[in-house]
Amino acid sequence: MKLSSVLLAAVSVAGLAAGNQVSPRKGQKVGVARGELAINQTPDLGYKELWDLQNMFYTRFKYPNNVNEVESINSTIFSDDVQGRVSDTRNFEGRELNTEYIFGLFVPSDAVSIIGRPGDFQIIQFTANRNIASASTRVNFTFPSFNNVSFPVQIDTWLAWNSERRISQYDVTFRWFAYLLPTLIQSLDRERPEEALKTLVAKVASSICDSHETSCTGENKQYDSRQECYDFLTKEIRVGQGFELGMNTLLCRNIHEHMIKARPGVHCSHIGRDGGGMCDDSISYQTKVEEQYFRNSPWVPETP
Ligand SMILES: *[C@@H]1O[C@H](CO)[C@@H](O)[C@H](O)[C@H]1NC(C)=O
Ligand SMILES: *[C@@H]1O[C@H](CO)[C@@H](O)[C@H](O)[C@H]1NC(C)=O
Ligand SMILES: *[C@@H]1O[C@H](CO)[C@@H](O)[C@H](O)[C@H]1NC(C)=O
């Protein structure tokens, strides 16, 4: 990303602070007043600003910039009513949870993980209208648990911005994630991919159980012993395919393991037996496809 884009994004935020509010128009949904300013959920930001905001998002997503977002606990890139949906996982409500899943998940940790560290990016497809940008972005990832192998990952996003230049909604698809996963596993042992998978499963389960021992204590405890945890994760549930990161799988619990340290009271249940509402088989394919989730901004703007 060019420095000029960073500066522009900073300037537009500064303009907003100076009271340069986009006024709501007829027919638009207007959010609740907060202080002096009413937040408009569907401002007409224009193509250029949406392009700059898109670049700003990926600049903040990139390691190590994402560490600052994590440390802020509630990233200012999100509105406090933000709603997020990530393909193959679940939906995430509110600023704090989204800061954990969009930024926290992608910072390096001691855990053995299928998640990588995002680096340089290139927006390869982009269009924008009113308050919505739709884009495909290729991000170079490094995977610390796979001998630091690098692969590009294509991330397709629909982002809706409010008049405070905060993301009020996002819908994200990790394109070809189900292809990336076996590619990563094969990178561990090209000749014997089945052995590589076994090794990975053992490492991931150990990692989750270690995190459980360290961080899920007292009423956050999910398993009576490390052995019980390990047996459950390796024998009683599926490893999970690429589309099963929000289902009753080992890989789903691997995703949520990252967040345990930050808020054990919220996240320990996700690695437990019943998956704490994040890792279970309760959502059918049909429900997924027909779900009507987003409330803040229509994804199909009114015809002018
Ligand atoms: C983050 O936001 C949540 C929800 O608004 C709030 O309860 C919490 O105190 C905030 N945390 C920090 C560190 O600002
Ligand atoms: C990603 O990495 C590849 C290979 O290492 C490199 O050719 C490419 O330019 C990188 N992409 C970006 C956006 O930096
Ligand atoms: C991967 O890279 C990190 C940081 O660059 C380094 O600390 C770590 O030792 C590397 N791991 C492997 C397995 O090479």
Percent of the chain topping pLDDT 90: 86
Nearest to 273 by CA among 219, 228, 239: 228
Nearest to 78 by CA among 174, 172, 159, 173: 159
How far does residue 303's CA lie from ligand 3's centre (Å)? 51
Measured distance CA(215)–CA(22) in Å, rounded: 45
The end-to-end CA distance of the chain, in Å, is 33
State the chain's mean pLDDT as an integer.
Answer: 90
Shortest-distance Cα residue to atom 8 of ligand 2: 140
State which ligand 2 atom lies nearest to the alpha carbon of 150: 5
Q: Which ligand is the nearest neighbour of the Cα of 121?
A: 2
Asked if omega into 64 is within 30° of 0 (cis), the reply is: yes
Tens of pLDDT, residue by residue over 252-265, are: 999 999 999 999 99
Res. 304 pLDDT band, cuts 50 70 90: low
Task: Tell me what the mean pLDDT of segment 266-295 comes to.
Answer: 97
How many CB atoms within 10 Å of residue 88? Answer: 21
- Please give the model's pTM, rounded to 2 decimal places: 0.86
Pocket test for ligand 1, best of 71, 73, 80, 97 (most atoms within 8 A of CB): 73
Shortest-distance Cα residue to atom 3 of ligand 1: 96
Measured distance CA(121)–CA(138) in Å, rounded: 6
Tens of pLDDT, residue by residue over 136-175, are: 999 999 999 999 999 999 999 999 999 999 999 999 999 9
Domains parsed from the chain with CATH numbers: 47-176 (3.10.450.50), 184-286 (no CATH)
How far does residue 301's CA lie from ligand 2's centre (Å)? 35
Q: Is the pLDDT reported for residue 270 higher than 90?
A: yes
Tens of pLDDT, residue by residue over 199-213, are: 999 999 999 999 999
Q: Is the pLDDT reported for residue 191 higher than 90?
A: yes
Tens of pLDDT, residue by residue over 62-117, are: 999 999 999 999 999 999 999 999 999 999 999 999 999 999 999 988 899 999 99
Nearest to 255 by CA among 104, 141, 144: 104
Contact assessment for residue 156 and residue 150, using Cβ atoms and an 8 Å cutoff: no
State which ligand 1 atom lies nearest to the alpha carbon of 95: 2
